[in-house]
A and B are shown apart, each in its own frame.
Chain A
Amino acid sequence: MSTFDWKKILQIGLIGGIVGVLIALVGMVEEFNERDIIAGTLTMGWTMLILTVLVMAYFVAGTVKAHSWLNVAAGALSGAVFSVVMSLLTWMVDSFDLRQTLVNASPSLVKILTFEQGIPNGLITLIVAGIVVGAVGSAIFILPERIRKAVTLGLGMVAFLGLMQDIIQVSLAGFEGLSDAIAWMFGRGIENGLSVAGAITVFLVVSVSNLLWDTNAPKVNARIEKLPQKSRRSLKWFGYGMLFLVIIYLPAILGLYLTEVVNSTGLFILMGLGLNIVVGFAGLLDLGYVAFYAIGAYTVGVLTNLSGELTSSFGWNFWFALPAAVALAVIAGVMLGIPVLNMRGDYLAIVTLGFGEIIRILALSDFLKPHIGGSQGIVNIPPPKFLEVLVNNPQTLYYFIVAGAVLALFTSQRLRDSRLGRSWKALREDEDVAQAMGINLVATKLMAFATGAAFSGLSGSILAVKLGTIYPHSFALLISINVLALIIVGGMGSIPGVFVGGLLLAGVPELLREFAEYRLLIYGALLVVMMQVRPEGFWPEATHKRELHEADEEARLTAEGQEA
């Protein structure tokens, strides 16, 4: 029985309980209880608690070095500890008036946590529920990996769809043919969340198709591998074609609101691609990245605005202002780069942080107010015209942003696979040795800053015409940090990682606007967990296979054997 580490299980259970108490006391349980994930069955408040227990039990099961009912028992035990802690909380909230200090320790919290059954009965239910959920969490652990993956994915999808129900329903409302299916899946619109039947369907469809895919993917891949070169290539192009079509029709499918979400995510991704070069490839920690975003936006604003409030009115066409904005951002990038050439790590971070703030404060200052509008910002930035089409609504802007992102993607991919990309990575790994390999540090670093600044300037220019108005407050430090965080979550130096990080840290929060109050809390928790569990990011940088194929290798080895 030495594998059954009581102390550790109790400890994790206790930690889980504390997290549960925290979730309850910050008010998430109560507030999210209004929202259903599965109509009438499961509220989002409960989902938060269940998720905590599931994750906790999963870890507990991992501490037991067995693969049997012992794991489940451990999970159940930790679930019991969790619910005892929660019961204690409930009892305390019920017996004493804690609302002076803990605003959310309210009678309605007690009502929720006791399933409206009153103190002794409800608490028993709570503890039983905790044990059951704990057992389920650890049972997931002992499942074979393939099934575990499918089940988790299915559950995750149910939670996601339940959460996104109103947005999905609104965007799909335009499609007449789907209305029955939607009504069946999401109910008739009075309740929110998935219907019970819908939830089960989603779970089954997602899990089973994932399972099927997982079992058959190697076979499919092998079959594709066997195809002749020519049909493999056409298959690839077919894939690209499908992707292209999806990208083209996406705004029509998504509707206005979701397209708007995609657009703001796209701007973050564009910035992320730029910062990924500076931080991910070259390893230069830049915390003032928002400065180039601001410079791009302000350049476009000053050169094109028609308000007449600024002393100088240029009235440029946007398409002339855009390259000017990118060029100015690049110049600013180089100008920031020169003084920090000899700095590394934390020192570099501090200086770039200062640079970002300088730009923002300059934009706010009275000194430059006549030229760039001070705290009132620049209003009346006209939308650009592209081939007689006014780019002024989310759907036209979408194409503009996609074009920018594709350009940035293309450029950074090609730079990565070149001499410059190798130099950047060498610089990131060991600056002194990189220089001793013949790499010109000055040119290499400045190229990184300049390219990064160019993408950010481009993103800022699009922001200016997207909003039509720009204020210094749009360029707060938090943007730099967000972009950095999305790179880290996606995977440092990984280009697909930027997209994943962008969707997770810019897209999803945008969708969860109704939870605005707790957004940063969840965001912070996610970052902490992420750094603990998966520090290399969701989609880590891949290493490229560049040596010859194995067959050649054997030949070479034998040849070498003869030489020796």
Chain B
Amino acid sequence: MASILSAKNVTKQFGGLTAVNNLSVEIPEQSISSIIGPNGAGKTTFFNCITGFYTPEMGEIVFNGNRIDGLRSDQVTRLGISRTYQNIRLFSNLTAIENIMVGFEPHLKTNWFDAVVRTPRYHKDEQAAHEEAIKFLRFVGLAGLGDQVARNLPYGAQRRLEIARALASRPGLLLLDEPTAGMNPNETLEMMHFIRNLRDSLGITILLIEHDMRLVMGISEQVTVLDFGEKIAEGLPKEIQTNPRVIEAYLGRGAATEGMATAHEMTSKKKAS
């Protein structure tokens, strides 16, 4: 399968700290891929490098044939990458609908003159944005909550709304940063189905950062493991589960020699830390 995103030798440093070190990743088109690793492994930093929040010091990131490292985040979004955040970052005083409408921004063309005079273009754009917003609101199962101010929504709804907002820009690649953080096992399972359905019905590529191993192992077609900014393993979930370096990174050297770490133990260790 062709890869939609390819990162080559990406390095990002903060002062003396190397958050991402010489990282190369290929994300196959229409796949669900995961990046896992202990806290501070550089996963979110890597996301930030892809989405233009950070500019990597070295290496290059190519998306759909366009080089995107060094671009501003709005330019990256317009090329077709959108994301959610580890700690939900909705526009908390806007309604759910308005949040999604902001997501539709890359497809709008009205300027201030259109807005003041209310030209046909204004009406066309507003209607399109509104329809799109309603569509995605339903898609993520928030129908009826559209006029609620985002900060008043329950936690799970906020997570879904953030995904709806990201989807509104019609991305080719969707980055999800810990989509199940703070969810109980049932909600996590639901989210897992939701993510799979997202890919199947919209035909987009999904890259996610996740701590919940059950989710990762359940839906990923490719897993990349980071530790201290470096890639220590990559492959199918099954391969990752038995990879000694991964077990070592999560559980320490002793556990690795035993080689008996299960996905469940990894999760519990993660939660304890």
Measuring CB to CB, which residues of chain A are less than 8 angstroms from any residue of chain B?
410-411, 414-415, 417-423, 425-426, 429-430, 432-441, 447, 451, 543-548, 553, 556-557, 560
CB < 8 Å: which of B77, B94, B110, B126 contacts A429? Answer: B94
Q: Mark B155-198, 1 if CB is under 8 A from A, else 0.
A: 00000000001000100000000000000000000000000000
Residue among A451, A544, A547, A556 having the largest count of chain B Cβ atoms under 10 Å: A547
A414→B118 contact, CB < 8 A = yes
Tell me, in angstroms, the Cα distance from A53 to B78 when the chains sit together.
Answer: 60
Tell me, in angstroms, the Cα distance from A547 to B77 when the chains sit together.
Answer: 26
Tell me which residues across on chain A come within 8 A of B85, comparing CB atoms.
433
Given contacts A546-B147, A553-B143, 8 further A-B contacts (CB under 8 A): A415-B112, A425-B91, A433-B91, A437-B105, A437-B169, A543-B95, A547-B146, A560-B143
Measuring CB to CB, which residues of chain B are less than 8 angstroms from any residue of chain A?
51-53, 72-74, 76-78, 82-83, 85, 89-95, 97-98, 101-103, 105-106, 108, 110-112, 114-116, 118, 122, 125-126, 129-130, 133-134, 137-138, 141, 143-144, 146-147, 149, 165, 169
A436→B91 contact, CB < 8 A = no
Query: Which of chain A's residues has its CB closest to B111's CB?
Result: A420
Tell me, in angstroms, the Cα distance from A436 to B103 when the chains sit together.
Answer: 9
Tell me which residues across on chain B come within 8 A of A419, comparing CB atoms.
105, 108, 110, 115, 125-126, 129
CB < 8 Å: which of B72, B97, B102 contacts A423? Answer: B102
CB < 8 Å: which of A414, A432, A439 contacts B105? Answer: A439
Interface of A is mostly: helix
B116→A437 contact, CB < 8 A = no
B138→A556 contact, CB < 8 A = yes
A546→B95 contact, CB < 8 A = yes
B102→A434 contact, CB < 8 A = yes
B37 to chain A, nearest CB (A): 23
CB < 8 Å: which of B102, B114, B146 contacts A437? Answer: B102
CB < 8 Å: which of A426, A440, A547, A556 contacts B91? Answer: A426
Tell me which residues across on chain B come within 8 A of A426, comparing CB atoms.
91, 94, 102
* Known contacts A422-B102, A547-B137, A556-B138; A438/B130 CB under 8 A: no
B77 to chain A, nearest CB (A): 4
B51→A556 contact, CB < 8 A = no
Query: Which of chain A's residues has its CB closest to B169's CB?
Result: A438
B134→A543 contact, CB < 8 A = no
B52→A436 contact, CB < 8 A = yes
B110→A418 contact, CB < 8 A = yes
User: Which 7 A-B pairs give the minimum distances between C-beta atoms?
Assistant: A418-B115, A547-B146, A429-B91, A438-B106, A438-B77, A436-B73, A438-B105
Tell me which residues across on chain A come within 8 A of B83, comparing CB atoms.
436
Tell me which residues across on chain A come within 8 A of B73, comparing CB atoms.
432, 435-436
CB < 8 Å: which of A432, A439, A543, A544 contacts B102? Answer: A439
B53→A436 contact, CB < 8 A = yes
Tell me which residues across on chain A come within 8 A of B144, comparing CB atoms.
547, 553, 556-557
Tell me which residues across on chain A come within 8 A of B111, comparing CB atoms.
420
Query: Which of chain B's residues has its CB closest to A493's CB?
Result: B93
Query: Which of chain B's residues has its CB closest to A429's CB?
Result: B91
**A and B contact pairs by CB, cutoff 8 A, 12 listed:** A418-B110, A422-B94, A430-B91, A433-B89, A436-B74, A438-B105, A438-B106, A439-B102, A440-B74, A544-B147, A546-B146, A560-B143
A439→B74 contact, CB < 8 A = yes
A418→B114 contact, CB < 8 A = yes
A437→B126 contact, CB < 8 A = no
Tell me, in angstroms, the Cα distance from A557 to B77 when the chains sit together.
Answer: 32
B95 to chain A, nearest CB (A): 5
A423→B91 contact, CB < 8 A = no
Tell me which residues across on chain B come within 8 A of A434, comparing CB atoms.
91, 102
Tell me which residues across on chain A come within 8 A of B89, comparing CB atoms.
430, 432-433
* Known contacts A426-B94, A546-B95; A560/B129 CB under 8 A: no
Residue among B78, B101, B102, B137 having the largest count of chain A Cβ atoms under 10 Å: B102
Tell me which residues across on chain A come within 8 A of B138, comparing CB atoms.
556, 560
CB < 8 Å: which of B92, B97, B105 contacts A546? Answer: B97
Tell me which residues across on chain A come within 8 A of B101, comparing CB atoms.
422
* Known contacts A415-B112, A426-B102, A436-B83; A441/B94 CB under 8 A: no
A546→B116 contact, CB < 8 A = no
Query: Which of chain B's residues has its CB closest to A430's CB?
Result: B89
Tell me which residues across on chain B come within 8 A of A545, comparing CB atoms.
147
Tell me, in angstroms, the Cα distance from A432 to B51 when the chains sit together.
Answer: 11
Query: Which of chain B's residues has its CB closest to A557's CB?
Result: B143
Tell me, in angstroms, the Cα distance from A433 to B147 when the chains sit together.
Answer: 21
Query: Which of chain A's residues has its CB closest to B168's CB?
Result: A437
A418→B122 contact, CB < 8 A = yes
A537 to chain B, nearest CB (A): 13
Residue among B52, B101, B116, B134 having the largest count of chain A Cβ atoms under 10 Å: B116
A454 to chain B, nearest CB (A): 11
B174 to chain A, nearest CB (A): 13
Tell me, in angstroms, the Cα distance from A432 to B90 when the chains sit together.
Answer: 11
Tell me which residues across on chain B come within 8 A of A414, comparing CB atoms.
115-116, 118
CB < 8 Å: which of B91, B122, B134 contacts A548? Answer: B134
Tell me which residues across on chain A come within 8 A of B93, comparing CB atoms.
425, 429
Tell me which residues across on chain A come within 8 A of B106, comparing CB atoms.
437-438
B98→A546 contact, CB < 8 A = yes
B102→A546 contact, CB < 8 A = no
Tell me which residues across on chain B come within 8 A of A420, comparing CB atoms.
110-112, 115
Tell me, in angstroms, the Cα distance from A440 to B85 when the chains sit together.
Answer: 20
* Known contacts A418-B114, A422-B98; A543/B105 CB under 8 A: no
B147→A437 contact, CB < 8 A = no
Query: Which of chain A's residues has its CB closest to B165's CB?
Result: A437
Tell me, in angstroms, the Cα distance from A437 to B99 when the chains sit together.
Answer: 10
Tell me which residues across on chain B come within 8 A of A441, comparing CB atoms.
74
